[in-house]
Chain A
Amino acid sequence: MNIGELLRSFPELTVTGVTQGAIYALVALGYTLVYGVLRLINFAHSEVFMVGTFAALFTWGLFGLDSNTERPSIGVALLAILAAIVVAAVTSAAVALLIEVTAYRPLRHRNAPPLAFLITAIGASFVLMEVAGSLTVRRPFGVPALLPSKPLFDIGGWAVTPTQVTTVVVAIAMLVGLDYFVQKTRAGRGIRAVAQDPNTAALMGVNKSRVIALVFILGGLMAGVAAVFNDIKTGSTKFNVGFLLGLKAFSAAVLGGIGNLRGAALGGLLLGLIENYASALFGSNWRDFVAFVALIALLMFRPTGLLGESLGRARA
């Protein structure tokens, strides 16, 4: 155990942990939204994210930016990021909706048992991953350099790059926006109603199919935004980029209390931090190991996660 390393790099580890956590949190929301309404773990959500990473690359291509081009001016970089956010979010949302309509909805109409949904989710995940794999000949794609890599400031080791600031600011804006939507709007109330009691929701005139479509779309939007920043952060993407990240985001959702939106955000943040501290303490080979051990340990003491289950049930 290397405590010295942890203490020495603590500021840097914290900043990268929060940035990584912001990405996990955005993806985790998709798992938690769908689970809250359908009690279904949508394993294909990792591929919704993966498609977003390619949609962002495609957008940057339209700007004439690729992994070999020079870093553009800040204005162009921000514009390119904004455009990528819009395109990736819309593309991911469309893919999420497509999965719901083609894979899950027919099962619901046939009153299929939960296991059939789970198998379908895993199947849809592999289908999408393999289709992307063959379209991209399974090779990695580099991401263009966008924002300057020089830190915006460096105060006593607390250095933050423009990319990190942008990631966290956009993630917070998305989280706050989603929370407002679910808590305060009529459509959001419909989502909470179906999550809490689907039959009674129907008695109130809530169209369950529409609510389900809506949560897939919302989850897709969040995953698309996460995909953009994951591209920028890691500098490349690949057909299987969603696999491990999706698993971790799902774990983050469980950590916070699956079905709970604020829990997903908290779980993502914690997982990002734990991972980074663990890699300093035990070496980067151990980071996933430690992250999952921490998850299991927490679930032993709080089986429903940090903030407890259910959309809207836990209001705080």
Chain B
Amino acid sequence: MLLEIDNITLLYGRIQALHGVSLNVGQGEVVALIGANGAGKTTIMRAISGIRPVASGKITFNGEDITKVRADLRVIRGISQSPEGRGVFPGMTVQENLDMGAYTRRDTKEIAADLERVYGLFPRLKERRKQAGGTMSGGEQQMLAVGRALMSRPKLLLLDEPSMGLAPLLIQQIFEIITEISKQGTTILVVEQNAQQALSRADRAYVMETGRIVKEGNGPALLDDPAVREAYLGAA
């Protein structure tokens, strides 16, 4: 397993947001995490990237215990995140934002190649590379956040609602890009409200409710699960 999360709990002050969550992501997999608003999906992402400390439990990455490793050092180990709300640096240009994604790297030539690869995935970003991140449209910022997360050459890519705020055509496109990134060899954990797309493209998926994992299985199987269909796909 590339990522193993073992029974973690997490507190925001006195509010307990995660109640013993366990979750695995294998090398090369695309794993989806779905659940209602406030279930704790974003909180799991924060715990994995180290933005928030866990209160108990263990996180193992690539065979090493990273539970206590600082967030910036986890990037060097190969974890990268496109955060909820995108986190585009508003006063930096598109190009500078992408350069920030490669902040931990020194291999200038390879960075340039990866930049071209990201521009290949998102031609819009190339057109706008001199524009300030803060003045990009919501959808453009979403592309920028995903592209930037790729710039660190992650072993594990964490995507928190990559389709948020995108037009239907673009949603389709971003999921195609996710599949493409996965084919190029990156392991992906994706949080999504768009359960239909996420489940049909994921190898496996977890369903969360109020700080707990309540279901797991392979993507297409969950897509057929009546309870999941009712709760997340708006079907009876």
Contact = CB atoms under 8 A, between A and B. Distances in A.
Contacts of B51: 199, 202-203
A199 B83 contact: yes
How large, as a class, is the contact surface on chain A?
20 to 34
Interface string B42-76: 00000001110000000000000000001111011
Contact of A207 (B72, B80, B90, B99): B72
Contacts of B104: 204-205
Nearest to A195: B91
A310 B90 CA distance: 11
A91 B218 CA distance: 62
B12 interface: no
Contacts of B152: 204-205
**Which secondary structure characterizes the binding site on chain B?**
mixed
B101 interface: yes
Interface in A106-138: none
A204 B71 CA distance: 9
Interface in A296-316: 310-315
Contacts of B99: 189
A208 B176 CA distance: 35
Contacts of A193: 89, 92, 100, 103
B49 A196 contact: no
A313 B134 contact: yes
Nearest to B71: A202
A201 to B, nearest CB: 8
Nearest to A208: B72
Given A196-B89, A196-B90, A314-B91, A189 B100 contact: yes
A248 interface: no
A312 B133 CA distance: 12
A190 interface: yes
A196 B87 CA distance: 9
Interface string B176-209: 0000000000000000000000000000000000
A189 B103 contact: yes
A204 B101 contact: yes
A70 interface: no
Contacts of A207: 70, 72
Nearest to B86: A200
A192 interface: yes
B134 A200 contact: no
Nearest to A315: B91
A197 interface: yes
A208 B73 CA distance: 11
A192 B91 CA distance: 8
A86 interface: no
B96 interface: yes
A290 interface: no
Interface string A165-191: 000000000000000000000100110
A219 B90 CA distance: 24
Contacts of B166: none
Contacts of A205: 72-73, 75-76, 103-104, 152
B9 interface: no
A198 to B, nearest CB: 10
Contacts of B100: 189, 193, 201, 204, 206
A203 B91 contact: no
Nearest to B79: A203
Interface string B156-177: 0000000000000000000000
B132 A315 contact: yes
5 contacts: A202-B72, A203-B71, A203-B81, A205-B73, A314-B91
Query: Lowest 8 CB-CB distances: which A-B pairs, in order?
Result: A205-B75, A200-B87, A205-B104, A313-B91, A312-B91, A202-B71, A204-B100, A204-B103
